[in-house]
């Protein structure tokens, strides 16, 4: 019987309610029930052919509805059976058999469909896993090949690096030999003056060169060994990791595939046993078995691929062994190279001994010449002293004569004052007579002699003829401004006039009229007005000051001659990279100094700085600047800055020179601010005397559209970066530096932002301007790991040394490495102050004569505070840099504002007594958590920290030592008696 659709929605609602009321158990087994006939009113139905059936005819035919359901299907299909087509008994039998058959077939069909779907899902899962396994296999193969290529490339790179280091060591050997020859020549020149200094310098130079060569060779060997070891470790770890991961993953994938295949086989066998009569199910099961066979074949393929990968891994192991053999050969080559280097060192030592013998013979000759030269020099010096003494006496006599002339002029002025007073009395009498005649009053003799006459406010009017100061003041016009210091001196020598004789109460009651004579303020304001050329008083003052300056200059020259004769040649020789070698630099400003008239405030401190032992003063940037601190310069020739005028700057420099202090100008050569905009609105057109255009700006400056060449350093983004490769730029900068040197009076330079351009240009500028001392600011970050300072800072100090090398050694540089290490070392980590070669860990340990040590400056401290030094460790920090080689710098704030001036003066005195200079020898005895002990030179020993130590406990320390400074656990100093 065919299935029909129920005619009414009420039937379906009843069916749904009954369906939801069934239990899960009944739904799982399949069920059926008979739906009772229900009347439907007013409904029409159509059959399959579209004929209209009456509702009543359909309703009166008894029908049964059979519903079936399975676990996997949510649909319940009703089947309508007519009850009038057969007999009741036949119909019942037929109905029972039909129902049984339908129930069994539906149950079997539903189970087969469910198993079919499960098998399909499992098959899809297996196929996906198989595809993933194949993809992973390809990835692993590619990774293994990539690691193999990387390992081979790293081996080749290590081999090239080793050959390169070997070549560099050979080249360095030749360079060291040439440096050795130059050092010996320098030693010969120094021996002309003092034999002992020449021998010491030669020994230091040879020992330094040999130690440097050994250090470079050992560094090359260690770098080659580290490189080979790292490559082997990377190859081993990569191959072992990839092999283990491939084996584990392949095993897991094979196990999963086998388990899934076995489960599918079991399910297929069960389905075959349960439904052997159903041909369709048999076909489906056979197809599933076929798929299982395919899966097993694919599993076998995976196993074969695993074997292939194992073979490849074995090949990689063989290649690894081969690479290890190559590394061993490289080690043998390195040992051979080391032997060759040792032979070369031995030969160089023999050559050095021969040359030393030759030097000794030369020194013997030089001694005789030196004795003769000393005698001749002493005679010449005595003659020069006599001439200087005669010049000083002549200057004193001229000054005395000028003083007497000045006194005579003052006396003449007083006499003229008295004459004018007598003339005034006569004019008063005449005026009184005239007024008495006009007013018909009593004659003058009968009047009260105490009556008050108000004439020019009661003060006498002097010299009212054509030569008077009144007429000069009114006719000559305005005068130029003079500094405050000159006004004070003019006021100090102005004549004192008699006090005013005025009684205001009597003057108001007086019957007489005031004479219309010039007022006192108009006549005598000449003393407060601006000086004019031609004024007798001003000419006398200036002439006296010139004579006084000449006298002081002669006295200073005489003093310098006597001091310089007592000094050695090393102390008087000026080089731009080292100065005299005994410089102590004072930074004479901070970040807020521009807020005051700084030049006038700094000038009076010159004598105090000189007495304290300072030898050089670092001035702020002198040029007009967009930023008031001076580090954004615009017109380089305009020296009227926020710190003061050009005249005040010259006056301050002159005061420093009067105290024998070197003056270092802070020059900004890397960048310059433009005064005009281009047609594109970019500020890249410069004004003033150096009127440059965009061609003076580097082309890789991202902000200012420069048309020059690429920069030779790093970019400073706040202002246009100057292209120093241009000839006209270098020519103009040389002219400007020579103007600062010769016309303004600076002795040397501090070079701002030295990272922005090559040191080769610095060398050219220094050779052109010939400064007495030069310092470069090469500041970049130290190496940190996990927020902690690394012990090895060789890369950082190497960058600074490379810049000094680029300048040809003509400039020193700030030892930023030492500053950064001291931040951590002084907190009970004193072991940071010694490197593996036993030397200091900063630039001081590699090139002490070019290292300028410091603790603070206007950037790191002051109100900026970018990198402030620990306040509680300042005394220890200064005890370290002021007693060690290099050139120390003292910050303005520490000297005048922090209350440690006496401590700094004491440390400077210890440096002077110990004879410490920028090249002094250094031997470190102890450097651990407890403290630091070192001997500097031959006469000073210092200790930092709370380590229990004194000179008597050191076996290698000879001589008797006396304690000079004792600050307990902070620091202690001893001097050799």
Question: What residues are labeled active site?
Answer: 752, 777
Helix/strand/coil percent split, the chain, to 5: 60, 10, 30
Rounded CA separation 662/865 (Å): 28
Tokens 């770890």 belong to 237
Instruction: Determine contact, residues 755/780, Cβ cutoff 8 Å.
Output: yes
Kind plus residue range of the DSSP H or E element containing 149: helix 88-191
Q: What would the DSSP string read from start to end of 954-975? A: -TT--S-EEEEEE-TTSEEEEE
CA proximity to 47, closest of 35, 60, 57, 38: 57
Instruction: Determine contact, residues 658/617, Cβ cutoff 8 Å.
Output: no
CA proximity to 815, closest of 838, 790, 848: 848
- Burial code (b: 16+ CB inside 10 Å, e: under 16) for 50-86 equals eeeeebeebbeeebbbbbbbbeeeeebebbbbeeeee
Supply 968's token pair. Answer: 């307990």
Supply 904's token pair. Answer: 């700094």
Decide: helix, strand or coil at residue 119: helix
Instruction: Determine contact, residues 120/233, Cβ cutoff 8 Å.
Output: no
Radius of gyration of the chain from its Cα atoms, rounded to whole angstroms: 53
Instruction: Determine contact, residues 614/586, Cβ cutoff 8 Å.
Output: yes
- Burial code (b: 16+ CB inside 10 Å, e: under 16) for 192-224 equals ebebeebbbbbeebbebbbebbeebbeebbeeb
CA proximity to 972, closest of 955, 953, 947: 947
Using CA atoms of 412, 414, 416, 417 in order, give the dihedral in degrees to the nearest 10: 170
> Residue 905 burial by CB count (10 A; 0-12/13-18/19+): exposed, middle or buried?
middle
CA angle 791, 794, 797 (to 5 degrees): 115
Instruction: Determine contact, residues 895/590, Cβ cutoff 8 Å.
Output: no
Q: Write the CA distances from 817 to 582, 774, 820, 831, 851, integer angstroms.
A: 21, 19, 5, 15, 10
Supply 871's token pair. Answer: 């306040």
CA proximity to 112, closest of 77, 75, 68, 71: 71
CA proximity to 803, closest of 860, 757, 856: 757
CA angle 774, 778, 783 (to 5 degrees): 145
Q: What would the DSSP string read from start to end of 443-456? A: -GGGS-TT----SG
Residue 582 DSSP code = -
Distant-in-sequence, close-in-space partners of 396: CB < 8 Å, separation ≥ 6: 551
Decide: helix, strand or coil at residue 934: strand
Rounded CA separation 721/345 (Å): 46
Rounded CA separation 227/532 (Å): 79
Kind plus residue range of the DSSP H or E element containing 933: strand 931-936
**Chain centre to alpha carbon of residue 399:** 56
């Amino acid at each position: 019987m065919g299935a029909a659709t129920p005619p009414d929605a009420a039937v379906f609602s009843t069916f749904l309610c009954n369906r939801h009321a069934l239990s899960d158990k009944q739904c799982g087994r399949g069920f059926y029930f008979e739906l009772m006939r229900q009347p439907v009113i007013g409904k029409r139905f159509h059959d399959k052919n579209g004929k209209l059936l009456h509702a009543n005819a359909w309703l009166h035919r008894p029908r049964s509805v059979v519903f079936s359901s399975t676990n996997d299907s949510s649909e319940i299909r009703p089947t309508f059976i007519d009850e009038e087509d057969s007999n009741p008994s036949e119909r019942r039998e037929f109905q029972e058999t039909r129902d049984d058959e339908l129930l069994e077939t539906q149950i079997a069909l539903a189970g087969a469909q469910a198993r079919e779907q499960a098998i399909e899902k499992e098959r899809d899962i297996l196929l996906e896993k198989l595809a993933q396994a194949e993809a992973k296999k390809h990835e692993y193969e590619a990774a293994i090949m990539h690691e193999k290529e990387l390992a081979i490339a790293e081996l080749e790179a290590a081999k090239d690096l080793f050959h390169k280091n070997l070549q560099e060591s050979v080249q360095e050997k030749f360079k060291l030999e040439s440096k050795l020859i130059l050092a010996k020549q320098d030693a010969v020149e120094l021996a002309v003056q003092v034999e002992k200094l020449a021998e010491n310098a030669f020994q230091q130079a040879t020992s330094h060169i040999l130690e440097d060569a050994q250090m470079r060779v050992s560094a090359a060997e260690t770098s080659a060994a580290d490189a080979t070891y790292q490559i082997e470790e990377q190859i081993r770890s990569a191959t072992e990791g990839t092999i283990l991961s491939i084996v584990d993953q392949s095993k897991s994938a094979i196990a999963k595939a086998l388990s899934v295949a076995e489960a599918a086989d079991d399910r297929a066998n069960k389905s075959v046993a349960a439904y052997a009569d159903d041909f369709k199910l048999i076909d489906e099961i056979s197809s599933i078995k076929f798929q299982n066979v395919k899966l097993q074949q694919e599993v076998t393929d995976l196993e074969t691929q695993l074997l292939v990968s194992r073979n490849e891994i074995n090949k990689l192991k063989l290649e690894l062994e081969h690479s290890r053999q190559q590394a061993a050969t490289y080690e043998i080559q390195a040992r051979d190279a080391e032997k060759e280097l040792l032979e070369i060192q031995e030969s160089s030592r023999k050559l050095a001994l021969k040359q030393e013998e030759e030097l000794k013979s030369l020194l013997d000759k030089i001694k005789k010449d030196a004795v003769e030269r000393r005698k001749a020099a002493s005679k010449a010096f005595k003659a020069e002293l006599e001439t200087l003494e005669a010049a000083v006496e002549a200057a004193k006599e001229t000054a005395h004569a000028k003083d007497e002339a000045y006194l005579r002029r003052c006396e003449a002025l007083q006499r003229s004052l008295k004459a004018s007073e007598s003339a005034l009395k006569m004019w008063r009498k005449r005026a009184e007579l005239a007024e008495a005649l006009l007013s018909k009053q009593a004659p003058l003799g009968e009047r009260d002699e105490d009556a008050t006459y108000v004439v020019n406010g009661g003060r006498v009017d002097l010299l009212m003829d054509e030569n008077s100061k009144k007429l000069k003041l009114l006719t000559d016009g305005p005068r130029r401004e003079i500094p405050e210091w000159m006004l004070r001196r003019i006021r100090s020598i102005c004549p004192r006039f008699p006090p005013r004789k005025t009684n205001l109460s009597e003057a108001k009651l007086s019957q007489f009229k005031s004479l219309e004579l010039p007022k006192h303020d108009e006549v005598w304001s000449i003393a407060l007005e601006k000086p004019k050329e031609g004024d007798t008083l001003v000419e006398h003052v200036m002439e006296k000051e010139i004579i006084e300056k000449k006298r002081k200059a002669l006295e200073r020259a005489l003093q310098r001659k006597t001091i310089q004769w007592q000094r050695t040649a090393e102390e008087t020789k000026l080089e731009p990279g080292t100065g005299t070698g005994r410089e102590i630099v004072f930074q004479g400003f901070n970040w807020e100094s521009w807020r005051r008239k700084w030049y006038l405030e700094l000038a009076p401190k010159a004598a105090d700085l000189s007495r304290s032992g300072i030898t050089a003063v670092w001035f702020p940037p002198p040029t007009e600047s967009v930023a008031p601190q001076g580090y954004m310069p615009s017109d380089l020739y305009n020296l009227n800055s926020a710190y003061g005028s050009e005249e005040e700057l010259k006056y301050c420099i002159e005061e420093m020179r009067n105290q024998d202090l070197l003056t270092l100008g802070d020059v900004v050569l890397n960048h310059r601010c433009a005064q005009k905009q281009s047609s594109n609105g970019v500020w890249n057109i410069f004004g003033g005397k150096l009127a440059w255009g965009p061609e003076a700006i580097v082309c890789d400056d991202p902000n200012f559209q420069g048309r020059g060449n690429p920069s030779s350093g790093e970019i400073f983004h706040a202002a246009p970066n100057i292209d120093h490769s241009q000839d006209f730029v270098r020519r103009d900068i040389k002219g400007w530096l020579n103007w600062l040197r010769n016309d303004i009076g600076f002795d040397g330079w501090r070079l701002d932002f030295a990272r922005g351009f090559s040191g080769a240009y610095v060398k050219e500028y220094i050779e052109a301007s010939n400064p007495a001392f030069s310092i470069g600011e090469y500041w970049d970050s130290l190496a940190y790991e996990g927020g902690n300072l690394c012990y090895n800072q060789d890369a950082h100090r190497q960058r600074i040394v490379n810049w000094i090398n680029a300048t040809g050694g003509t400039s020193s540089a700030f030892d930023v490495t030492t500053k950064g290490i001291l931040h951590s070392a002084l907190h009970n980590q004193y072991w940071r102050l010694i490197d593996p070669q036993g030397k200091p860990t900063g630039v001081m340990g590699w090139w002490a004569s070019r290292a300028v040590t410091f603790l603070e400056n206007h950037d790191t401290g002051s109100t900026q505070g970018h990198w402030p030094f620990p306040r509680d460790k300042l005394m220890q920090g200064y005890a370290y840099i002021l007693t060690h080689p290099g050139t120390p710098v003292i910050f303005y704030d520490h000297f005048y504002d922090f209350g440690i001036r006496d401590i700094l003066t004491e440390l400077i005195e210890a440096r002077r007594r110990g004879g410490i200079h920028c090249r002094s020898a250094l031997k470190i005895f102890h450097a651990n958590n407890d403290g630091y002990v070192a001997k500097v030179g031959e006469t000073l020993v210092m200790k930092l920290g709370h380590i229990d130590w004194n000179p008597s406990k050191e076996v290698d320390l000879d001589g008797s030592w006396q304690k000079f400074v004792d600050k307990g656990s902070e620091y202690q100093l001893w001097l050799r008696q």
